């Protein structure tokens, strides 16, 4: 997974989609706003702030 991609999970933490800002209209979720986060931990990728 690239650093500009985000996994979208359902309530059972199953992967239901991928959000990317790489390509305009590149995914069904392009332009959507994620209003609810069910994760309690933020994971920082190596080399990222």
Structure-block tokens of residue 7: 């996994």
Tokens 């199953």 belong to 14
Is pLDDT at 26 greater than 60 in this prediction? no
Q: How far apart are CA 18 and CA 16, in angstroms?
A: 7
SS3 letters across 23-37: CCCCCCCCCCCCCCC
Give the pLDDT confidence of 28-37 residue by residue, as tens digits.
555 556 665 6
Residue 17: per-residue pLDDT: 80
This prediction has a pTM of 0.41
Task: Count the neighbouring beta carbons within 10 Å of the beta carbon of residue 15.
Answer: 9
Give the pLDDT confidence of 10-25 residue by residue, as tens digits.
888 888 887 776 665 5
């Amino acid at each position: 997974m690239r650093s500009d991609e985000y996994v979208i999970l359902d309530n059972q933490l199953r992967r239901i989609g991928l959000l990317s800002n790489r390509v305009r209209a590149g995914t069904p979720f392009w332009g959507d706003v994620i209003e609810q986060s069910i994760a309690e931990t933020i994971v920082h990728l190596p080399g990222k702030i």
